[in-house]
Amino acid sequence: MKKISGSVFFFFFLLTILPVPVQAAEKPTLESITFKTLDTNREQVTFKLNGTYIPKTFAIKGKNPRVVFDFPKTGIARTMPNSIQTDGA
């Protein structure tokens, strides 16, 4: 029994000292934004990211009301244009 316990201990000791490759987590990145008119009163905006990230959403009221989708600590892919024509309402 002592021989098995010693072998198990040695095995776990080796696991703790051997280098283990660690894969770095990808930074959240916005890859694209697409717009689609569904009908005269509805539009669809799609955000494509490199993973699943839940945005903070809120509305800005006033003469020009808006909806904000905030993806904190999210970068923008190099392929994203600086501005996007939406032709929306």
What is the predicted pLDDT for the residue at 41? 85
What is the predicted pLDDT for the residue at 40? 83
What is the predicted pLDDT for the residue at 13? 61
| Nearest C-alpha neighbor of 71 from the set 33, 26, 30 | 30
* Overall pTM surpassing 0.85 (yes/no): no
- pLDDT tens for 17-76 read 666 555 456 899 999 999 888 888 888 999 999 999 999 999 999 999 999 999 999 999
Q: How many CA atoms lie within 13 A of 15 on its CB side?
A: 6
User: With 70 as the cut, is the pLDDT of residue 2 above it?
Assistant: no
Q: Where are the domains of the chain?
A: 24-79
User: With 60 as the cut, is the pLDDT of residue 89 above it?
Assistant: no
